[in-house]
Structure 1
Amino acid sequence: MQICRSILGAALVLVTLAAVPLQAQEAPAAIYGELFQQIQTERIFPDGKTFADAEPRRDPAAIMADYRRTAPDTPVALEDFVLANFKVPGVNDRGLSTLRRHIRNLWPMLVREPDEPTPGGSLLPMTERYVVPGGRFREMYYWDSYFTMLGLAVDGQQQLIEAMLDNFTATIERFGHIPNGMRTYYLGRSQPPFFALMLDLSHDEDPVLAARRLAALRQEHAYWMAGTSCLDATGACARVVRMPDGVLLNRYWDDHPLPRDESYVEDLTTAQEDPSRAATEIYRHLRAGAESGWDYSSRWLADPQRLSTIRTTDIVPVDLNSLMLIMEEEIAGRCAAQDDQACAAAYTEMAGERRAALQRYFWMPEEDRFADWDRVSQAPTPRVSAAMLFPLFAGAATKEQAAAVAQTVTRTLLAPGGLRTTPLHTGEQWDAPNGWAPLQWIAIAGLERSGQEALACEVSRRWLDTVAGTFTETGKMLEKYNVEERTPGGGGEYPTQDGFGWTNGVTSALLERYAGNPACDMQRPAISLLYAR
């Protein structure tokens, strides 16, 4: 009986194969004839096996009919035709679903287990698991982690989010703040303060833990405002600046006027390029620029083409003060939830003063944008940058201002592959042509929050085109991208890194945010086919 069943099964297979159209059994050269010959002889793909292994996206007869009708007569037109009609291995066969799976598979590679202290080493040991950005960044970083967590939240990694929050809470309790990264040489500075927003990603409702985290958040706020006690005639101390009307705002700073340990020779060289300034002054500005996360950008330079003209601590940044507003409102809300009305009232008042100051000092109606403020010239700076979108992200812009900012962004920062960081090409990595995942997220979320959904969708589509296209070509998720050419980014003090925590996080979060949303279709052909270069 078993033999009979085997014979019957074999017969069915033969019948099935016989039913397959003869054309499907022919080689590609026979099926596609002159199209195949043109692709191979013009070497559209360097390896002749590439197209020979391609899969048609629709009926081959229909493809050939369209080929004869359109008659693509240039290499570019022929390549476009092929990519629209075939899934070509290693070129456009990695769709968005493949990208999402790739990111999920990357998370374990970026996870680190709790650390053991090493005498003489620079690592600040963490007691819980955490995610590193990747590449040369082999420790946990501050603002990177928020954007990484956005992806962890939608990729089913909630326990890892809670573990990282425990690490950050314990770090504040130990050092009074969250350093730039978890190394001893980073302790003199922090980074853009996203801890308040990280807490919103938690699902843990333990009231004891909530109280502990609130205390840590208040401690972080005290760190940023500690300069209040040492303000003098200059109007600034540490991270605090007294504005002309007396309101206290914040700037970036570092406690040590020395070359950075991790970029020691680079800082020595930069200081030597301008002998008219004290080296310690330049080191302080360089370190403050590192605290900003924008290391480095024309935002901080008197001469956009010369890093030695850096003057970060002279500038009151719009992004930092938008994040401080979020922190103060978050503290007020959490204090109210714990029935601490005095605390809630105090931080609500602080937030109100800061919100008004954002309007008074940072809004430039004649240029339809928010700007940084120069405490030396007592005026907004002339530098256009993606930082203008932070007030939208913080809910501090009016509907009219958001509409005006959207027009300015479209005119000055929107590139084929997403948002430029600034319009200036300086060779610094936080300038054109580079775009960065965290700034895309801030822009998209801010535009959407303030009623500019169409531009939010367009930035999302263009950015995902860039990330997915580069992934198709390289198999990598990168730290930064050239959004003008939709290629890997460059510039700065070190090669472009792959990994990469915040790109993974923002990409997963955007795909989740807009999946199935007819108003912002992330599955349109331009993305799902993934342009080849």
Structure 2
Amino acid sequence: MASGWLCKGSGPPSSPPVSRLIAFLQQVQQAALSTLGDSSSFDPKTYVDLPLRFSLHRTSCAFRSLPRSSDGIIPPETFKNFVNDYFFEAGSDLIDHIPVDYVAEPADFLPHVKDQGLRTWALKVHAIWLELARQVAPSVEHEPDRHTLLPLPNPVIVPGSRFREVYYWDTYWIIRGLLVSKMFQTAKGMVENLLHLVKVYGFVLNGARVYYENRSQPPLLSAMVREVYVATNDTELLQEALPILIKEHKYWTSGPKQVTVLDGTGRKHFLCRYYAKWNAPRPESFTIDMQVAKEVNVNKQETLYHDIASAAESGWDFGSRWLRDGENLSTMFTSSILPVDLNAYMFQMERNIAYIAAVLGNQSIATKFRKAAKARQLAINSIMWDDEAGQWFDYALDPEQCEAHLNKVVYVWDEKFQRKITSASNFIPLWTSIFKSGDSKIEKVVNAIARSGLLFPAGVATSLRETGQQWDFPNAWPPLQHMIIEGLFFSGSTEGRRLARTIAQQWIQTNYVVFTETGHMLEKYDATICGGTGGGGEYKLQTGFGWSNGVVLSLLSDFELSLGDPITYSGLSLVR
């Protein structure tokens, strides 16, 4: 088994006992799959989330002593008894929590929602925060060698179902929803949890588990800080956050995560990529990754594992945009791609840091990051923008276009390495205001979205490729809907605002219909049909769901809606 890079050079590595714990839980995960035998209902993450009842030494000795058949299979009942005897239930080290700022119907909650049916639903979505609120159990901090969960200073809102811990980019949309719910203290606590992770590790982990120490996720912490500040005017949060955000920015602009590209005029640009510090199967998907790696030569498996983990860092795990052939996971080459959305988030981060510094009166930092944002803006539009297509494309790094300049590797831009595939990610820069209001290119982007083929009756499809992966057609993901809706609305384009209204209406409608029929908010939906549910990927459709709730509450806050019946909406208008 490949050892992996456990946070090498990017923060404190897991202690040897914790590393041994992960390795042992991977063995239990493998035994579970071979013993229970039903891969269709098997979720490997369950087995690396199990808290130990006893010491690792005692538990691993008991595991080794279990009877096995000649081919190494543990009898099913024996294995089940072992798990029950030596582990607590997955998720039991997070305990239920009632947020101190939750009330059943907050004052001034969604004042523009007049329709009683819609308002009743909105209050039910608001109430789901109680179902998702958790506090990390004290045992996690006191007995770290028995848990893969990480301690956090404040209570949390988890996404839901198998996602029992805090996740980085999910938290942005959870916070957007919490602010609508007037749960300002909970939202601030969530931000402080992520700031704590940066203090400890130098970056925000993918999720609050030790096995996520090898990667981050889309960097939206600065946006969370800004959203909470705008809602609360809490300058103490800004003072705490500023040096930590600068630290996170350094993580994303250092080492292999930052790449130099020369444009057609020879001008040097700096852009970022996803690049996990890991070259082994992901612990939470160990058995799945090993199966994928069987399709490639053993000498290339570590590279594939690295690119799988890097795709997980993107939040898009997985989709055709990371695959050389657009179909097979074994052709993943994530770390050789400069992603449009990541660099748009970096542009937003740099602008947010400049804004926060200006509010605090630190003009030198504000000026520095305004310049960084301007350089990023130029880089994105020089390397990724396609004027004829009216959108931005990911850029593939080709070794043959690589040169050495002053002992540093640089890539020479060539249009043929723009990955001109249809993807919702191509339009994320609009959300981060990459063009100034009135720029004629905005209308090109709006028109490109309208004719992209991604717009369906229930929202924006992730791509036009139907690969069976969850970040592809026909799935529609809440964060992508929200970013595209807000990007269109705040673009200043009349047609953009009209399109934003349409997508917002469709998204609210499909969420309402699914909730009415199932009683659940879902992680993802089917863009092609109102009330359609998402699917695909390496795990079952999840309910809860943090970012879905946040997006719905945000849209209901921003739009006036009325319900004619459970299927038909009328009276749509913008609040802001």
Shorter chain as denominator, the TM-score bin is: 0.7 to 0.9
Match of 1:164 among 179, 187, 190: 190
Q: Among residues 328, 346, 357, which one is paired with 1:306 in the alignment? A: 328
State the AA in 2 paired with 1:181: G
Gaps of 5+ in 1: 1-92, 228-236, 516-521
1:493-520 CA distances to partner (integer Å, 9 max, x unpaired)? 00000000000010011011102xxxxx
Tell me, yes or no, if the aligned pair for 1:464 and 1:527 is still in contact at 8 Å: no
Counterpart in 2 of 1:458?
502
Please state if 1:270 is matched with 2:298: no
- Asked if the contact 1:95/1:529 (under 8 Å) is kept, the reply is no
Alignment-derived partner of residue 260 in structure 2: 242
Moved over 3 A (4+): 203-209, 526-531
Secondary structure class of the residue paired with 1:113: strand
Q: How much has 1:330 moved relative to structure 2?
A: 1.2
| Pair 413,194 (structure 1): closer, same or farther in 2 beyond 3 Å | same
- Most deviating of 241-250 and 469-478: 241-250
User: Is 347-356 or 368-377 further displaced after alignment?
Assistant: 368-377
Shift in CA distance, 324/262, structure 1 to aligned 2, threshold 3 Å: same
1:139·1:183 contact (CA, 8 Å) conserved in 2?
Answer: yes
Query: Residue in 2 aligned with 1:179?
Result: 205
Partners of 2:312 and 2:245 in 1: how far apart?
22
In the TM superposition, what is the alpha-carbon distance from 1:115 to its structure 2 partner? Answer: 3.5
Matched, 1:221 2:249: yes
Q: Deviations over 1:349-386 (max 9, x none)?
A: 11111111111111112222211111217431022111
Of 503, 509, 512 in structure 1, the residue corresponding to residue 557 of structure 2 is: 512
After superposition, the Cα gap between the structure-2 partners of 1:209 and 1:97, relative to the gap in structure 1 and judged at 3 Å, is closer
> Which protein has the larger Cα radius of gyration, Structure 1 or Structure 2?
1
- 1:207 offset after TM fit, Å? 4.4
Give the SS at the match of 2:228.
coil
Q: Confirm or deny: 8 A CA contact 2:117 2:563 kept in the other structure.
A: no
1:119 is aligned to 2:144? yes
Spell out, residue by residue over 1:221-254, the C-alpha distance to the aligned partner (whole angstroms, 9 max, x if none): 0111121xxxxxxxxx2x1111123221100010
Give the counterpart letter for 1:300 in structure 2. W
Following the alignment from structure 1 to structure 2, what is the Cα–Cα distance between the partners of residues 291 and 163? 23
Residue aligned with 2:203, SS:
coil
Equivalents in 2 of 1:333, 1:368: separation in Å?
29
Question: Percent same amino acid among aligned pairs?
Answer: 36
- The 1:220/1:186 distance shift into structure 2, 3 A limit, reads same
CA RMSD of aligned residues (A): 1.9
Residues 241, 248 of structure 1: 8 Å contact kept:
yes
**Counterpart-to-counterpart distance in 2, 1:94 and 1:182:** 39
Q: Which of the numbers 454, 458, 461 marks the counterpart of 1:417?
A: 458
Q: Contact 1:297–1:430 (CA<8 Å) still a contact in 2? A: yes
> Larger % of helix: which?
1
Contact 2:435 2:442 in 1 (8 A): yes
Q: Is residue 505–residue 569 contact of structure 2 (8 Å, CA) maintained in 1? A: no
C-alpha separation in 2, matches of 1:427 and 1:94: 39
Encode CA deviations 1:454-476: one digit per residue, 9 max, x unaligned.
01011111111111111111111
Question: Residues of 1 paired with 2:329 and 2:243: CA distance?
Answer: 39
Distance in 2 (alpha carbons) for counterparts of 1:299 and 1:122: 31
**Distance in 2 (alpha carbons) for counterparts of 1:253 and 1:506:** 28
Which residue matches 1:75? none
Question: How many angstroms does 1:407 deviate by?
Answer: 2.3
Q: CA deviation at 1:484?
A: 0.8
Alignment of 1:494-505 (within 5 A): 494-505=539-550
| Residue 96 of structure 1: how far off its partner (Å) | 2.0
SS at match of 1:243: strand
* Distance of aligned partners of 1:115 and 1:217 in 2 relative to their CA distance in 1, 3 Å threshold: farther
- 2:441 paired residue number: 401
1:191 and 1:383 map into 2 onto residues whose CA distance is: 23
CA distance, structure 2, for counterparts of residue 269 and residue 365 of structure 1: 41
Q: Under a length normalisation based on structure 2, what TM-score does the superposition of the two structures give?
A: 0.71
Q: Which residue of 2 aligns with 1:363?
A: 385
Equivalent residue for 2:426, pick from 378, 383, 388: 388
Q: 1:403 Cα deviation (Å)?
A: 2.0
> Which range moved further: 321-330 or 197-206?
197-206
Match runs of 1:28-39 below 5 Å: none
- 2:525 match: 481
Structure 2 counterpart of 1:461, one-letter code: Q
Answer yes or no: is 1:329 the counterpart of 2:351: yes
Residue aligning to 1:155: 181
Find out whether 1:345 has 2:371 as its counterpart.
no
CA distance in 1, matches of 2:234, 2:307: 42
Given that 2:219 and 2:346 are in contact with CA atoms closer than 8 Å, whether structure 1 keeps it comes out as yes
Deviations 1:383-420 (A, max 9, x none): 21111221111111364333222222222110110000
- Taking structure 1 as reference, are residues 272 and 530 closer, same or farther at Cα in structure 2, changes over 3 Å only? farther
Aligned position for 1:468: 512
Amino acid at match of 2:562: Q
Deviation at 1:206? 5.2
**Distance in 1 separating the partners of 2:179 and 2:444:** 33
Secondary structure of 1:247 counterpart:
strand
Q: Which amino acid aligns with 1:103?
A: V
Query: In structure 1, what is the Cα distance between the partners aligned to 2:215 and 2:296?
Result: 24
The answer as to 2:240 corresponding to 1:212 is yes
- Can you list the C-alpha shifts for 1:296-335, whole angstroms capped at 9, x where unaligned? 0111111111111111111101101011011111111222
Q: d(CA) in 1 for partners of 2:299 and 2:419?
A: 22
**Could you tell which deviates more after superposition, 144-153 or 272-281?**
272-281
Task: Give the drift of 1:342.
Answer: 2.1
Q: Does structure 1 retain, via aligned residues, the 8 Å contact 2:118–2:563?
A: no
Partner of 1:21: none
**Does residue 428 in structure 1 map to residue 469 in structure 2?**
yes
Which secondary structure does the structure 1 equivalent of 2:271 belong to?
strand
Number of aligned residue pairs: 423
Match of 1:22 in 2: none
